Chain A
């Protein structure tokens, strides 16, 4: 269960204080697939940063399983990210000099998985997202965009996170590949009962998620609920 209450994030700029998020509140049940749409600069990425403990809010609370992550120390926030959160980025953000397998094993290492167990688990995760054995030993530069995003999803799933935060997961992919990635995420939320919050500008994809929110000028509006 994810519960956000009165979340506000302000930044100081030369022209004064800018509110990137203003009094945002939302509740997401475990296993739900939620999408957030909004224009560039509407605060989508800032909201994901707060939910993923990458940044701290100016005010408000974020409760994940009854723990207020906004109040955690820096070290505990890092541990929270490693074990409870999976990130999927628009530009995949795989480590370029590590193979697909090593990228997933890296997340397992940060999650505290014993070194002798990492390889087998990474192979299974990659296999589950459709990366073949020979592709697992390739570096990201030798994989297609869709394959890289699958590796990114496998990395996000590595430590069986409570929440996957996806920032424009299909933004760099063609529509057919994007559709496949969306289906992969959708199936995961069903099979693994993982909460997925995806920021997207693709209304077609947003329409297929369990719930959709809209962000405009830092304010959140609920659009639909399935």
Chain B
């Protein structure tokens, strides 16, 4: 029998007391695991949100707003500057243009309406001083008829035209390669219907024959009346090599959005209008951060509670065995050996508490994490409504344990597990340190004085 086995044996000297200590420790360690799992899950969610929400930065040449305004498109060098800015993970560049009746054989599917007419009033030299094309019917009669134009978007990513923030819906045919330079196009569904276009059809634009690759639909009348081409194709067709009128940059994390905006403003000065969704991102992360902080406070609180439990238990045990420690020292036991024996005893209690506590944690951390992070977990309980009786209840209980195990297993990363083990050891060490100090101060002579 050595120091370790004596410590292990001593831990079971008073089964009732040891059981109570183990139970208290188990609750504390179970809580620690639950909180660690919850924190890990919340942090994963935060990372997910940070990498997806509010990470877009819009960069427009100063003055340009869609087809309105004025200014100079970005050059390829300026686009390269944007791409080279730290933390920008990807960019979507767009060049916008409009096809008039002389540019294409397509008939626009847009109804011009009073709004469209007002926007085109400046196109007539005779109407340059007019403020309302409909107010002066005499002069209107002298102008050529207004014709709606067809919007053309050249983009590196056709999905960026989608109005739902996701992928562009291709109702027939196939999408185009935005990075290519082929004479192909996606045609909006309204425009395609108006001009009887189907995938494989051709039309002319800028004096070239363009093949329809697919028909897209967005649910937006303006978009569905337009054409999408690869960026390089439109740049070539419009003799604007390298030019872009709109850039959307995706930042790797919402944490870095402000830094990216700041860097871009430094690079472009007043030559670009830069907008971001940083505040929206911060708001969406704030509530999750509060939960993560709460979980961390729970970990710290449960750790302190666990350490105090071991500490008080070991102090009580050491005080109780003061004479025994004196005897061991008197017959030649070193302080280190006695301390090692008591640390082994504390470790044994802590390890048993940890095993029970980790099991407890596995059972409770799944639902706890779910309630903190996700809104529902209905899919696993839908089939149990008609099952009654204790047998069924037992099966449902086992099923729930299985569900919890699956949920937690997916959340217990090696880091979480290592943290739980580390904290458990920390509890044992803190819980043993003060008793060890007491032990080292017990003098063997006291065993004779108390006779």
* A positions within 8 Å CB-CB of B: 45, 48-49, 52, 54-55, 75, 78-79, 81-83, 87, 89-91, 93, 95-98, 102, 105-107, 109-111, 115, 155, 159, 167-168
Which of B109-117, B268-276, B441-449 forms contacts with chain A?
B441-449
How many Å lie between the Cα of A213 and that of B277 in the bound state? Answer: 96
Q: A93-B327, A167-B448 are in contact. Are A54 and B443 (CB under 8 A)?
A: yes
Q: A78-B334, A90-B451 are in contact. Are A49 and B323 (CB under 8 A)?
A: no
Known: A45-B449, A155-B331. 20 other contacts (CB 8 A): A49-B445, A54-B445, A54-B447, A54-B448, A75-B334, A81-B331, A81-B332, A82-B332, A83-B332, A90-B451, A93-B323, A93-B327, A95-B327, A96-B324, A97-B10, A98-B1, A105-B1, A106-B333, A107-B332, A167-B451
Question: What 8 pairs between A and B have smallest CB-CB spacing?
Answer: A82-B332, A110-B332, A54-B445, A55-B445, A49-B445, A93-B327, A45-B448, A54-B444
Q: A90-B451, A93-B327, A95-B324 are in contact. Are A79 and B13 (CB under 8 A)?
A: no
- Whether the Cβ atoms of B333 and A45 lie closer than 8 Å is no
- Whether the Cβ atoms of A110 and B333 lie closer than 8 Å is yes
- Whether the Cβ atoms of B333 and A89 lie closer than 8 Å is no
Q: Is the interface of B mostly helix, strand, loop or mixed?
A: helix
How many Å lie between the Cα of A115 and that of B3 in the bound state? Answer: 12
Determine which residue in B6, B331, B333, B444 has the highest number of CB atoms from chain A within 10 A of its CB, and name it: B331
Residue tally, chain B, CB below 8 Å to A: 24
Number of A-B contacts (CB under 8 A): 72
B328 to chain A, nearest CB (A): 7
Mask: chain B, 314-333; 1 = CB below 8 Å from A; 0 = not: 00000000011001111111
Name which residue of chain A comes closest to B333, CB basis: A110
State whether the Cβ of B2 lies closer than 8 Å to any Cβ in chain A.
yes
A142 to chain B, nearest CB (A): 16
B62 to chain A, nearest CB (A): 81
- Whether the Cβ atoms of B324 and A54 lie closer than 8 Å is no
B42 to chain A, nearest CB (A): 46
Name which residue of chain A comes closest to B329, CB basis: A78
How many Å lie between the Cα of A172 and that of B327 in the bound state? Answer: 18
- B17 CB contacts on chain A under 8 angstroms: none
How many Å lie between the Cα of A155 and that of B444 in the bound state? Answer: 17
Q: A54-B443, A81-B332, A82-B331 are in contact. Are A102 and B448 (CB under 8 A)?
A: no
Could you give 10 example pairs across A and B, Cβ below 8 Å?
A52-B330, A54-B447, A78-B333, A81-B444, A82-B332, A93-B327, A95-B324, A97-B13, A102-B1, A167-B448
Determine which residue in A54, A91, A155 has the highest number of CB atoms from chain B within 10 A of its CB, and name it: A54
Partner of B451 from A45, A97, A111 at Cβ < 8 Å: A45
- Whether the Cβ atoms of A87 and B331 lie closer than 8 Å is yes
State whether the Cβ of B143 lies closer than 8 Å to any Cβ in chain A.
no
B389 to chain A, nearest CB (A): 48
State whether the Cβ of B9 lies closer than 8 Å to any Cβ in chain A.
yes
- Whether the Cβ atoms of B334 and A55 lie closer than 8 Å is no
- Whether the Cβ atoms of A93 and B447 lie closer than 8 Å is yes
How many Å lie between the Cα of A61 and that of B387 in the bound state? Answer: 87
- Whether the Cβ atoms of B451 and A87 lie closer than 8 Å is no
Q: A48-B448, A54-B443, A167-B451 are in contact. Are A97 and B330 (CB under 8 A)?
A: no
How many Å lie between the Cα of A167 and that of B447 in the bound state? Answer: 11
- Whether the Cβ atoms of A97 and B9 lie closer than 8 Å is yes
- Whether the Cβ atoms of B448 and A49 lie closer than 8 Å is yes
How many Å lie between the Cα of A18 and that of B447 in the bound state? Answer: 20
B374 to chain A, nearest CB (A): 50
- A98 CB contacts on chain B under 8 angstroms: 1, 6
How many Å lie between the Cα of A109 and that of B5 in the bound state? Answer: 13
- A95 CB contacts on chain B under 8 angstroms: 324, 327-328
A56 to chain B, nearest CB (A): 9
How many Å lie between the Cα of A97 and that of B10 in the bound state? Answer: 7
Q: A97-B9, A167-B448, A168-B451 are in contact. Are A55 and B327 (CB under 8 A)?
A: no
- Whether the Cβ atoms of A107 and B9 lie closer than 8 Å is no
Determine which residue in A55, A105, A111, A159 has the highest number of CB atoms from chain B within 10 A of its CB, and name it: A55
- B444 CB contacts on chain A under 8 angstroms: 54, 81
Name which residue of chain A comes closest to B447, CB basis: A93
A199 to chain B, nearest CB (A): 9
- Whether the Cβ atoms of B332 and A78 lie closer than 8 Å is yes
A9 to chain B, nearest CB (A): 10
Name which residue of chain B comes closest to A155, CB basis: B331
- Whether the Cβ atoms of B331 and A110 lie closer than 8 Å is yes
How many Å lie between the Cα of A54 and that of B324 in the bound state? Answer: 15
- A106 CB contacts on chain B under 8 angstroms: 1, 328, 331, 333
Q: A93-B323, A96-B324, A97-B10 are in contact. Are A107 and B331 (CB under 8 A)?
A: yes
How many Å lie between the Cα of A168 and that of B450 in the bound state? Answer: 13
- B331 CB contacts on chain A under 8 angstroms: 81-82, 87, 106-107, 110, 155
How many Å lie between the Cα of A113 and that of B377 in the bound state? Answer: 63
- A91 CB contacts on chain B under 8 angstroms: 451
- Whether the Cβ atoms of A79 and B323 lie closer than 8 Å is no
B110 to chain A, nearest CB (A): 94
B59 to chain A, nearest CB (A): 74
B201 to chain A, nearest CB (A): 93
How many Å lie between the Cα of A83 and that of B332 in the bound state? Answer: 8
Name which residue of chain B comes closest to A79, CB basis: B332
- B337 CB contacts on chain A under 8 angstroms: 110
How many Å lie between the Cα of A95 and that of B327 in the bound state? Answer: 8
- A78 CB contacts on chain B under 8 angstroms: 329, 332-334
- B443 CB contacts on chain A under 8 angstroms: 54-55
Name which residue of chain B comes closest to A82, CB basis: B332
- A155 CB contacts on chain B under 8 angstroms: 331
How many Å lie between the Cα of A94 and that of B444 in the bound state? Answer: 15
A122 to chain B, nearest CB (A): 11
Determine which residue in B10, B13, B330, B448 has the highest number of CB atoms from chain A within 10 A of its CB, and name it: B448
A136 to chain B, nearest CB (A): 14
A20 to chain B, nearest CB (A): 10
- Whether the Cβ atoms of A89 and B445 lie closer than 8 Å is no
- B330 CB contacts on chain A under 8 angstroms: 52, 54, 81, 87
Name which residue of chain B comes closest to A97, CB basis: B13
How many Å lie between the Cα of A54 and that of B450 in the bound state? Answer: 14
Name which residue of chain B comes closest to A92, CB basis: B327
